[in-house]
Amino acid sequence: MENIIRYALSNGADEAEIFTRYTRVNEARTEGDKLKNDSKIIIETVIRIVVDKSITTAYLTTDSGDVIRDSINDLISLAKNTPPDPYWEGLPYPKKPVKHVNAWSSDLESIDQELLTNLTKKDLEYMKSKDNRVIPVSIKYSLYSTGYKVVNSNGVNIEDRSNGLGYFIDVKAKDGNSESNTFGFKRSKTREIESEKVIDETVNRALELLKGVKLDKVYKGPVLMDPLAVSSTLYFSLARVITGTAVQEGYSPLAKRLGEEISDKRLTIYDDGLLENGWNTRNYDEEGYPQQKTGIIVDGKLVGFIHNTYTARRMGVESTGNARRRESMIRVDITNLTIKPGSKDLDRLMSSYDELILVRNMPMGAHTINYMTGSINMVGTELYYVKKGSIEKVLKPLTITGNIYEALTDIEIGNDVEDTFFNIYTPSIVFTKFTLA
């Protein structure tokens, strides 16, 4: 790719960058009793060309040098008719990693399709040995491998790679006229998935949900969200407004609150691109800039935002290594968002209140949270009424309303940190400012 960078510069580009990513996904899954296998390889190349501060990009599904050169010629021509970006200060320069991390497991890479298939068969048989009121909709193992290379005209020339194993189960339960549906999820940077434990927990929840009853009042009191409920709520709110892009484009309510206390003092959040065994742990982001651990909220105070090179330079700060690519777009996104745990486990949290409602799994409609205002209107589908530390009854779905930013000012944090598929590592949290009805 270095030769192609030189080709771009010799043909009129002031700056040039080529990003190439190779992704392989092997899956074994069930659909009812049927077993299916899938394998796909994805090749992506993103070109960024700059001429007199005019920026053009192209997204390709090939790494062919000839195709890339043709695209470069087109981009140089397009740049002549593209308005310059007054905030542009150049592509990133080379920088050594904060520390070397190894996100690649040769042990995982040795897993073949036959093993994935056998694991899926085993879990299907185990699932069938459970309560016959619960049937598997789908069981799936996914082995992910990705590697990428970034080369630019400022001397950046890096390669990075990672892999991981994911597990997902979707089940339905039926008993008479009562029905329920739920799912279980686990992912790992090792082979350790503990799928039978996931199945047991998922089946038990599905059976519990068959017993749901209506709540006979509007509830305003402590609400205990488990890690997946917390992460889905924060991913579609706080995670959207802590980026340099959100601040600069004017849709972050936190834009002018740096250094202020914005939450309960017990809340500390970092974006940790170097987290041990983190799903998005890498040496470099997708611009070739070193990832790092960045403070967002420390003891309730807003201390920082996350950036790529462009947003950082526009604000006069250093990039935090949070560049992410989606086709030709270069975004700012979280790597591994971590919430500092408290001291209480789930049982002690529940015992700390005369009554509370426990929210498990991902509330329906979390994606509709208004991240600019914090307004929430979503439906909890796995709810439990807890009295003096014991689950008294399972509840039918209820609407959860409130404001997430106001709710973060009065919380209690548990110690049961879990990885979630939103790339947020969080324990359970008690909120006191939500209404359920």
Confidence (pLDDT) at 32: 83
| 3-state secondary structure labels for all residues of 383-394 | EEEEECCEEEEE
Q: Check if the beta carbon of residue 184 is closer than 8 Å to that of residue 169.
A: yes
Phi-psi region of 44 (alpha: psi -120 to 50; beta: other; left: phi over 0): beta
Rg (CA), the chain: 24
pTM, whole model, 2 decimals?
0.94
Q: Is the pLDDT of residue 2 over 90?
A: no
End residue of a domain, out of 172, 190, 208: 208
Predicted confidence (pLDDT) per residue in 187-205, tens digit: 999 988 999 999 999 999 9
Q: 421-436: per-residue pLDDT in tens?
A: 899 999 999 999 999 9
Question: Are 140 and 235 in the same domain?
Answer: no
DSSP lists the bridge partners of residue 403 as: 375
Query: Which stretches does DSSP call E strand in 251-361?
Result: 269-272, 293-298, 301-302, 323-326, 329-332, 337-339, 355-359
Do both 311 and 197 map to the same domain?
Answer: no
Q: 112 with 238, same domain?
A: no
Q: How far apart are CA 162 and CA 371, in angstroms?
A: 31
pLDDT in tens, 285-298: 999 999 999 999 99
Q: Quick one: 311 and 169 in the same domain?
A: no
- 174 and 151 inside one domain: yes
Mean pLDDT of 320-331: 94
pLDDT digits (tens, 9 = 90+) for 74-88: 999 999 899 999 999
Domain with 62, as residue range(s), is 2-208
3-state secondary structure of 99: coil
| 194 and 249, same domain (yes or no) | no
pLDDT at 123: 96
Looking at residue 64, what is its pLDDT?
Answer: 96
Give yes or no: residues 306 and 424 share one domain: yes
pLDDT band at 384 (very low <50, low <70, confident <90, very high): very high
- In contact, 357 and 219? CB cutoff 8 Å: yes
Among the three residues 175, 208, 241, which one is the final residue of a domain in this structure?
208
Q: Is 3 helix (H, G, I), strand (E, B) or coil?
A: helix
- Here the CATH number for the domain that contains residue 121 is 3.30.2290.10
Q: Is 224 within 8 Å of 386 (Cβ atoms)?
A: yes
256 and 349 inside one domain: yes
Residue with tokens 């611009």: 287
Instruction: Count how many domains the chain has.
Output: 2
CA distances, 266 to each of 85, 345, 414, 433 (Å): 41, 16, 11, 16
Domain shared by 309 and 403, yes or no:
yes
Does 231 share its domain with 263?
Answer: yes
77 and 23 fall within a common domain: yes
Per-residue pLDDT at 66: 95
Contacts of 57 (CB under 8 A, 6+ apart): 46, 47, 48, 49, 75, 328, 329, 330
Residue 206: the pLDDT is 96
C-alpha pair distances (Å), 393 with each of 171, 192, 213, 332, 437: 21, 34, 7, 43, 16
Q: 169, 187, 208: which is the final residue of a domain? A: 208
Nearest to 19, CA basis, from 328, 432, 374: 328
Answer whether 195's CB lies under 8 Å from 167's CB. Answer: yes
